[in-house]
Structure formats: structure tokens, C-alpha cells
Structure 1
Amino acid sequence: MSDVVNIFDRSLLRRRRERARKDYKKFAFLEKEIAGRLAVRLTDLRPRFPLSLEIGARSGGLGNRLRSSGKIDTLIQSDLSISWATERGSDGPALTLDEEFLPFANRSLDAVFSALSLHWVNDLPGVLSQIRQALKPDGLMLVAFLGGNTLAELHKSFVEAEAANASCFTQRISPFADLSDVSVLTQRAGFKLSVVDTDTITVTYNNALDLMYDLRGMGETNLTMKRQRIPLSRTLLNEVIKYYAKRFAGEDGKIQASFQILYITAWAPAKDQLKSILPQYTASK
């Protein structure tokens, strides 16, 4: 970890997750949508993953889906937030842990799941490697997180507003990994039969201020170490709202915000991998 560049402020992430917990149900729509999409992907995979881990459990949306699938005997739910982990403990085993330091023995888990958590890690290659090592042979990693095109409209609006009013640019939107980078990192971590794909969820808002309000409620606002520490001025905020509406509003006057979701489905290496993961493949040969 000594060579890792700390892009994100992880201690701030923990505080924001704690702060968001109280009213999070109002803002959990994106997490619930991704949980549903991951659950659909799970239905097409092999029938049993007895001991599994969920990273970043938050409101429990994904955990509920996983338990109801009938494919998991024991689901360990974990979260960076102490409050979230404590609440999840009522559903079964739960841990407070940092995603960058997974406290699991090698070859101890049958599957690892995560919905909207891994985009905030500073060492994504290291985390993927730790997950692979914790998985048993033929163990599954099925995760989803925000990609680099997330909030492109808001990013462009900030760039334009700052260029016109401050003649400078500050990092207002956190940078996330691209699809091609994630595909390479997954293979380098030692996974086999990996599939990395993406889709975009578009959410409609009355204005950019409503979007920012939702991001705060989700605990998903800018966490870069080099973020601007001075509060956003009212003048600049108004300019961002106006520019966003000018460039990205539909005929009804409402704006759209894009969330790019990256999905990874990958397997820990094992002997006779296709036979154990895709029995219908070997049967047809």
C-alpha cells in the first residue's frame, strides 16, 4: 500500500456514510436498482455459493436479494460505516471493515458481492487481488460500481461555469475508473472467465440543485484529496444551475443526470474451470 496514490479521502467517506444513514431510505433508489440488476445476473450462474461476503452493505438492498435467491447459506455483510454494519447485524453475520483491507483467509469464501462501493477505493488493483485470494477455487466475484462517465453533465457544467466566472478549474466531480482499465485490472488480479460490461442509468431532476441534494443524501459527493475546501459560492452555484439547464434540459425543462455502472463477473482460477462453472458447456462437447 506504500506505493498507492491516495486519491480519495477514506475517513471523510466514513463520516459521510454515517451522516447519510439517518435519511438514506429517501435516497436509496440507485442502490436498489443496481441490487436488482445484480440479482438478475446471479440467477444465470451456478446454483450454490454457501459462504458469501457483501462489501458495502448499506441499507441491505443487495443483501435482501441475495438471501432471497436461495443460493447462499451464510451471507457476511460488511460496511465502512459502523452504524450500517451494526444495523445489518440483525440480519446475520456483519462486520465493520475497510474495503481496502479485507480480513479473510485465502480460499475461504465462495462468492463476493458489492453494489456501489468499490469506486471509492484508492487501490482498486489491490482490492481485486485481495478478493481473488479470499475466494475458493471457482469462487465468484459479482460487483457493480460507478464508472468514469458518471455525472458527465454536472462535470461539464462546473467546467463551463468556472471558466466563465473564475478563470480556473477545480476538481468538483470525483474521477472513477474506465471500462477498459477495469477489464485489464481484473485479469491482472488473476481472475478467469471475467466479463466486464457497462450500462448507464439516467435520472431526471428539476434542476442541478436537486441532483446535488440527492448526491449528498446518498453519501456520494466529491471525496478527492485535492477537492476545493472553500464552500461553493452562491454566484458559481447559480451559474452551474443555469448552464446545466441550458445544455442538458429536455423539452419539459427537466435535466438528466447519467450514472455509468461498471459490472464485473469473474471467477477465481481452478482446475477444470468450465466443467464446474458451466456444466452444460462440457456436456455438449
Structure 2
Amino acid sequence: MLRARGIEVVATDLSPALCAREPGPCVCMDEEWLPFGAGTFDLVIANLSLHWVNDLPGTLVQIRNILRPDGLFLACMPILPTLAELRQALIVAEHDLLGGASVRISPFPGLRDCAALLQRAGFALPVADSDVIELAYRSPMMLLRDLRDAGETNALVERHRASPPVALFPAALAGLPRDEQGNVAMPLHVAIMTGWAPAVTQPRALKPGQFTTSLEDALGDEDGTAHGGVDTPTAG
């Protein structure tokens, strides 16, 4: 879509096969080792890919570095409580069958984690918002098939590699909650992350004592009466 508007775009992917299908310039690379110089791009977009990164704080620092001053970073990624019901059902079923549980679903950050990571990476004016995509499946197996088709199977290095008991997945899937229509509801929670590379032209908060309007005046009615009937301190 950006190319259709005449914008020069460099696509990236870890898979050589997917890069070969790209009609325009494409770089096959690992997202944890960005092969670009400082201040290369005006815009960096990461669409549903950052949850596969091992060192997410380090990757965000690299992204901020390759942006020009006042360059924009846009990203979205699944966050908690995505797949929480499936995670809990697998844990309970495996504990009942084997007396313990292993990690079978990759970890997701929370919304607060995303906001904190943007700040930690040095982005200016960071914003992390969330949205929910409501998904429902007629059967639990359709959910697992959808995850596999999306390439979202368990890729954890320390995952349990022994074949699971035959009864594990039937027991876990039977424990998934269903809605009034009998479907397995599995909403996808997504964080939308926005951050800017620092620039001298960006707005900055006033320092203490630089304000010109008190909070009391800003919150007051037209007749000058402040809301709430309490004294309010002045603020920038």
C-alpha cells in the first residue's frame, strides 16, 4: 500500500522464501540484528512480528537508532490475555495427567510492558494502546488448525520435546469455555505501539514554574467556580 502511493519501501523478513516473493527491495535478516545505519528511515513498521523476538528491548533500541530524527515507529503485537484460556486448559490437563506442566504457549507481554519498553528504548512521545479482535471457533481443533496455519506453533527453545500423552489435548480442549452458541471464544488482544525518534522540534513538557495557567482556572466553570469543591494545586 505504501509503494502504491509512491513511497520508497524496503521490506524485511527472516525467511529467504518470503523475501524472494517480494516484488520490491527486500532484505533477509534477523530482527535482532538490523543491518541498517543510523538515521536510515523516516518510518519503521512492525506488523505482528515482534512477539517472536527474543531480545525485544534490544530490538526496539536498534529500531530507534535507524530512524531519522522525528521518524515514526508503528507496531502491533499480540499481548496478554491472548490465548489465556488455552494456556490454562493445557496446564490443568497436563497437571492432572502427569503431575506437572510444561510451557506450550509462547509468552506475551502486557500492555504496560509495551509502554515501558518504548520509554526504555528512548522513543519520544510513546503511546501504547490496545484493541480486541473477537474470534470464535466452532470446534477447538479449528482453533489449533488456525494457529498452525498462521505459523504460531510453539517455538520455544526450552519447550518439552517429548511426545505428549494421547489424552492431553482432548482433555485440554474439552476444558475450553464456550459461548452461548457453543463456540470456543478466543479473542485476540493486540497492542498498537507508536513512538518517535527524538528531535529538537518535538513538543516538550514545561518545567516546574513555567506554567501560565493554574489547574484550578482550567477546571473552573464559566463563573470561576472549580469543580469538586476542593482546592486544586497549580500545574503545568
Bigger mean CA deviation after superposition, 206-215 or 227-236: 227-236
TM-score (norm 2): 0.82
Residue pairs, 1:105-116, within 5 angstroms: 105-116=37-48
Deviation at 1:202, TM superposition (A): 2.2
Q: Flag as ranges the 4+ runs of structure 1 deviating above 3 A.
A: none
- For 1:206, the aligned partner's letter is R
Shift of 1:267: 0.3
Measure, in 2, the Cα distance between the counterparts of 1:122 and 1:225.
11
Q: Aligned letter for 1:186?
A: L
Structure 1: how far apart are the matches of 2:26 and 2:203? 32
Structure 2 matches for 1:134-173, cutoff 5 A?
134-173=66-105
State yes or no: 1:67 paired with 2:3: yes
Residue matched to 1:183: 115
Q: What's the counterpart of residue 253 of structure 1?
A: 182
Structure 1-normalised TM-score?
0.69
SS at match of 2:12: strand
User: For residue 273 of structure 1, what is the aligned residue in structure 2?
Assistant: 202
Deviates more, 1:75-84 or 1:226-235: 226-235
Q: In the TM superposition, what is the alpha-carbon distance from 1:234 to its structure 2 partner?
A: 2.4
- Any stretches of 5+ residues in structure 2 without a counterpart? 205-236
Matched, 1:208 2:140: yes
Instruction: Tell me how far 1:101 sits from its aligned partner.
Output: 0.5
More helix by share: 1
The count of corresponding residues between Structure 1 and Structure 2 is 204
C-alpha separation in 1, matches of 2:180 and 2:112: 34
Structure 1 residues not aligned, in runs of 5+: 1-63, 276-285
Contact 1:208–1:240, Cα closer than 8 Å, also in 2: no
- Is the Cα–Cα contact under 8 Å of residues 72 and 197 in structure 2 kept in the other structure? yes
What is the CA deviation profile of residues 24-81 of structure 1, one whole-angstrom value per residue up to 9, with x for unaligned ones? xxxxxxxxxxxxxxxxxxxxxxxxxxxxxxxxxxxxxxxx3x334x3x6201111111
Residue in structure 1 matched with residue 153 of structure 2 by the alignment: 221
Q: Percent identity?
A: 40
1:196 matched to 2:161 = no
Aligned twin of 1:264: 193
Q: Which amino acid is 1:77 matched to?
A: A
Deviation larger for 172-181 or 130-139:
172-181
> CA offset at residue 86 of structure 1?
0.9
Cα RMSD for the two superposed structures: 1.5
| Most deviating of 113-122 and 195-204 | 195-204
